[in-house]
């Protein structure tokens, strides 16, 4: 989404330190800021690449790591295509923020549910990692919905987290599988609804396409989650 660099935010210059093709259309980009840049897990930043308009991207790693990670999708032009094809390590990036209110509430010790669609995985990754790294005592569930098998990315990373943390569960859901698969299929919100009878007491975080986010909000309310325990930033 198109962003704005607001005066109230922190703006720093960073340099690209790595670009990894995580899926056919998704690049994981890590940037090292030249100055201090603080954020909460789940927030986003406004990025300005040279010669391109400002775009908002969710930060996909937890605070305090020294570098800032983003998941950038190539939609056939603009920043996404630039990152996938012409951007290089060492290129400058202006970073402003952080923005967003759907950040992880560390004081909540109960169960946590994160629901991601597509590159909405980015802020959910940060939230899950922060919860696990800070010793969150409750169960942590991450549901990741994509269109088809090639769209899944960072799967091995999350499988490793399930092995390291007994309270973490990771589920992938394919909306439109092109061939028979052993994975869950359908809408990710419907998968959540099928797996939980009630979700009262959970804090729920959602990120992805607007229609998916709204459908998940509706599904969560039907599972007795009050509005103040559902966190999602509007696209």
Contact between 113 and 202 (Cβ < 8 Å): yes
Tens-place pLDDT, residues 67-104: 999 999 999 889 999 999 999 999 999 999 999 999 99
Residue 223 CA: distances (Å) to CA of 36, 52, 142, 229: 41, 43, 17, 12
Q: Does 106 map to a domain?
A: no
- Where residue 161 sits, what CATH number does that domain have? 3.40.50.80
Strand partners, 73: 26
Same domain for 131 and 27: no
Distance, CA of 218 to CA of 204 (rounded, Å): 12
Task: Find the angle CA(155)-CA(160)-CA(162) to the nearest 5 degrees.
Answer: 95
- Torsion angles phi and psi, residue 108, rounded to 5: -75, 120
Same domain for 128 and 45: no
Distance, CA of 215 to CA of 230 (rounded, Å): 12
- Where residue 47 sits, what CATH number does that domain have? 2.40.30.10
Q: Does 184 map to a domain?
A: yes
Segment (H or E) for 46: strand 44-48
Strand partners, 85: none
pLDDT computed for residue 6 by the predictor: 45
Same domain for 143 and 71: no
Contact between 53 and 2 (Cβ < 8 Å): yes
Tens-place pLDDT, residues 110-130: 999 999 999 999 999 999 999
Sign of the torsion formed by the C-alpha atoms of 175, 206, 134 and 97: positive
Same domain for 151 and 122: yes
Q: Which residues constitute the domain of residue 15?
A: 10-99
- Given a cut of 60, is residue 49 above it in pLDDT? yes
Distance, CA of 28 to CA of 122 (rounded, Å): 9
Same domain for 153 and 91: no
Query: pLDDT band at residue 4, thresholds of 50, 70 and 90?
Result: very low
Strands 140-146, 10-23: pairing is unpaired
Same domain for 214 and 142: yes
* Assigned token pair, 73: 């999708």
Strand partners, 204: 113, 230
Same domain for 207 and 119: yes
Residue at a domain's end among 60, 77, 99:
99
Same domain for 119 and 82: no
Same domain for 83 and 30: yes
Q: Does 14 map to a domain?
A: yes
Residue at a domain's end among 77, 99, 121:
99
Determine the 3-state secondary structure of 123 from DSSP.
Answer: helix
What are the percentages of helix, strand and coil residues in the chain, rounded to 5? Answer: 25, 30, 40
| Domain count within the chain | 2
Tens-place pLDDT, residues 175-200: 999 888 889 999 999 999 999 999 99
Q: Does 130 map to a domain?
A: yes
Mean pLDDT value of segment 30-36: 95
Residue at a domain's end among 73, 99, 125:
99
Tens-place pLDDT, residues 139-171: 999 999 999 999 999 999 999 999 999 999 999
């Amino acid at each position: 989404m198109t962003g704005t660099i607001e005066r109230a935010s922190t703006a720093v210059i960073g340099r690209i330190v790595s670009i990894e093709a995580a899926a056919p259309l998704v690049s994981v980009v890590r940037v090292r800021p030249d100055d201090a840049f603080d954020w909460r897990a789940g927030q986003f930043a406004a990025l300005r690449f040279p010669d391109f308009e400002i775009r908002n991207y969710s930060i996909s790693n937890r605070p305090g790591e020294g570098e800032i990670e983003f998941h950038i999708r190539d939609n056939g032009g603009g920043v996404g295509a630039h990152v996938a094809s012409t951007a290089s390590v060492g290129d400058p990036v202006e970073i402003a923020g952080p923005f967003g209110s759907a950040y992880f509430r560390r004081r909540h010790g109960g169960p946590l549910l994160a629901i991601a669609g597509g590159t909405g995985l980015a802020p959910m990754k940060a939230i899950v990692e922060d919860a696990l790294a800070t010793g969150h005592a409750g169960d942590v569930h991450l549901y990741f919905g994509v269109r088809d098998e090639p769209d899944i990315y960072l799967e091995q990373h999350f499988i490793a987290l399930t092995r390291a943390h007994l309270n973490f569960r990771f589920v992938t859901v394919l909306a439109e599988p092109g061939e028979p698969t052993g994975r869950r299929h359908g809408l990710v919100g419907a998968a959540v609804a099928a797996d939980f009878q009630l979700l009262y007491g959970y804090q729920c975080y959602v990120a992805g396409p607007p229609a998916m986010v709204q459908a998940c909000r509706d599904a969560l309310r039907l599972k007795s989650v009050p509005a103040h325990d559902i966190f999602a930033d509007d696209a």
